[in-house]
Structure 1
Amino acid sequence: MKKWLLFYFCTCYISLLHAQTRDSIIVRPYPAFTVRQLSLPLTLAVLGLASNGNGNEAFKKEVVEERNEMMPKFHTSIDNYLQFAPLVIAYGLDAAGVKSKTDLLNRSAILMKGELLMLGSVYVLKKYTHQLRPDGSTYNSFPSGHTAQAFAAATLLCEEYKDRFHWMPYAAYGLASGVGMLRMANNRHYISDVLLGAGIGILSMKVAYWTHQYKWGKRTQAINLENP
């Protein structure tokens, strides 16, 4: 059971790093690049790469062995849907009148760019690393596409609502972490696949925000969280 603690600590690290409150009610709605923001996705990516050994005693295979002992017949398809849940929440809140930081057109453009970057990265790595899944089904295990999708979507949800709802990072990244755990519980991915997928998902959506030019609509310099 101790082998699962690595992933648990990673999810806690995600929540703590992103769930930062602000004293002022005035915030700038457009995230800018800082080197500090690279620490989380790069840490996850490095952990994923470091735990991707293929030896018989490799850490990722020991995690699978424990999974097979604890829940050999476990299977669910809910992770196929949960990976998109943060996007449904983000657009659902906006539709319900809880306005996000970014207007619909710019937010959708950011989403498209982040998704393309994430999907392209996952596809290339899956193709050229040629890693066998733990269930022995196919050679496209590394990294986890479901996890990358979940964390990319969670990053968009956090960027749009974390200043209004300070608990949003816990909810968004907790949900994304659940997707990663389910991928391992379903025996479809190793822990290394999930860690790298999480890093790719976060970084892809962050890059989409950092590089967006906000071509549509009028760019507001600040918003008041008490009177949105």
Structure 2
Amino acid sequence: MNRWLSFVLFFNVFILNYAQQKDSLGIENRPLSFNLKKTIVPVALMTSGIIFDANGRESLKNEVVEERNEHLFGFTNHLDDYAQFAPFFALYGFELGGMKPRTDWKNRTAILMKSQFVNLGLVYVLKTTLKRTRPDGTAFSFPSGHTANAFSGATMLAIEYGENHQWVPYVSYAFASGIGVMRMANNKHYISDVLFGAGLGILSVKAAYWTHQYRWNRQKSESDPFAGIIY
């Protein structure tokens, strides 16, 4: 968790420095309206994670671990520790490469920070409250923070660039799914941890977009000296 918080602080400094060099022009900042249907997938993932954790903890989990130990015994790497952050760099890197996002960098960064506050905050609370044991015997398994992080980044990429570049959602969610699979291959998480983490990551980002007021980067009225300051 300390590594995540350090990354978030570093990432915000990186973004501010990047924004001074390149301003987002010609971006409409279209709000994302709440759509109940858009909650079906993340809620289904989280519900599945809860069900597997509660009812299938011994049978399904042990079966997955046995399969892992049979085919991937001794497998371990730390690629997922770093790859989980790749979607966040792509969130700004794609724009730098010429792709047009849905939201300008100021509002995009505000949405990112709000969604991460909810996402990482809930992951931390659930881990320290439930204290589920990982497959390798260590603590704090449920939910998978790496998976939640990867899926939150993938969701932002899909929202920001998916409309103009239809390949982005497929690639971003496939990449996030790979992080979840790698967490199980590394014997760090059960499938229930990964499913719940994926749903949490998606839903936290969607909620941030639905509630965002787009108050950043507004054009100030020349006739009102207080425009953009007190409202």
Q: Which band: TM-score by shorter chain?
A: 0.7 to 0.9
* Matching of residue 177 in structure 1 with residue 177 in structure 2: yes
Q: What CA RMSD, in Å, does the superposition of the two structures yield over aligned residues? A: 1.7
User: Could you tell me whether the CA contact under 8 Å between 1:102 and 1:160 is conserved in 2?
Assistant: yes
User: Could you tell me whether the CA contact under 8 Å between 1:53 and 1:59 is conserved in 2?
Assistant: no
Show structure 1 runs of 4+ deviating over 3 A: 53-57
Q: What is aligned with 1:76?
A: 77
User: Could you tell me whether the CA contact under 8 Å between 2:134 and 2:189 is conserved in 1?
Assistant: yes
Letter paired with 1:58: S
Cα deviation for residue 218 of structure 1 reads 3.8
- The equivalences for 1:120-135 within 5 A come to 120-135=121-136
Q: What is aligned with 2:90?
A: 89
Letter paired with 2:50: L
The whole-number CA distance in structure 2 between the counterparts of 1:209 and 1:53 is 31
SS class of match (1:51): helix
Q: What is aligned with 1:191?
A: 191
Q: What is aligned with 2:118?
A: 117
The whole-number CA distance in structure 2 between the counterparts of 1:69 and 1:36 is 39
Q: What is aligned with 1:16?
A: none
Letter paired with 1:170: Y
The whole-number CA distance in structure 2 between the counterparts of 1:169 and 1:43 is 19
Letter paired with 2:176: A
**TM-score (normalised: structure 2):** 0.79
SS class of match (1:105): helix
User: Could you tell me whether the CA contact under 8 Å between 2:31 and 2:214 is conserved in 1?
Assistant: no
Cα deviation for residue 99 of structure 1 reads 2.3
Q: What is aligned with 1:152?
A: 152
User: Could you tell me whether the CA contact under 8 Å between 1:130 and 1:141 is conserved in 2?
Assistant: yes
User: Which deviates the most, 180-189 or 163-172?
Assistant: 163-172
Q: Percent identity?
A: 51
User: Could you tell me whether the CA contact under 8 Å between 1:41 and 1:203 is conserved in 2?
Assistant: yes
User: Could you tell me whether the CA contact under 8 Å between 1:53 and 1:60 is conserved in 2?
Assistant: no
The whole-number CA distance in structure 2 between the counterparts of 1:218 and 1:31 is 17
Cα deviation for residue 199 of structure 1 reads 0.5
Cα deviation for residue 54 of structure 1 reads 7.4
Q: What is aligned with 1:34?
A: 35
Letter paired with 2:144: S
Deviations 1:123-165 (A, max 9, x none): 111111110000002x200000000000001011111000011
Q: What is aligned with 1:58?
A: 59
| Structure exhibiting the larger radius of gyration computed from Cα positions | 2
The whole-number CA distance in structure 2 between the counterparts of 1:198 and 1:90 is 18
Q: What is aligned with 2:206?
A: 206
The whole-number CA distance in structure 2 between the counterparts of 1:135 and 1:145 is 16
SS class of match (1:192): helix
What residue ranges of structure 2 are gaps of 5+ in the alignment? 1-27, 220-231
Letter paired with 2:73: P
Alignment: residue pair count: 192
Cα deviation for residue 93 of structure 1 reads 1.1
The whole-number CA distance in structure 2 between the counterparts of 1:29 and 1:64 is 45
**TM-score (normalised: structure 1):** 0.80
The whole-number CA distance in structure 1 between the counterparts of 2:57 and 2:94 is 47
The whole-number CA distance in structure 1 between the counterparts of 2:134 and 2:146 is 14
Q: What is aligned with 1:21?
A: none
User: Could you tell me whether the CA contact under 8 Å between 2:29 and 2:104 is conserved in 1?
Assistant: no
The whole-number CA distance in structure 2 between the counterparts of 1:77 and 1:54 is 31
Cα deviation for residue 52 of structure 1 reads 0.8
User: Could you tell me whether the CA contact under 8 Å between 1:47 and 1:195 is conserved in 2?
Assistant: yes
Cα deviation for residue 56 of structure 1 reads 7.3
Cα deviation for residue 55 of structure 1 reads 7.0
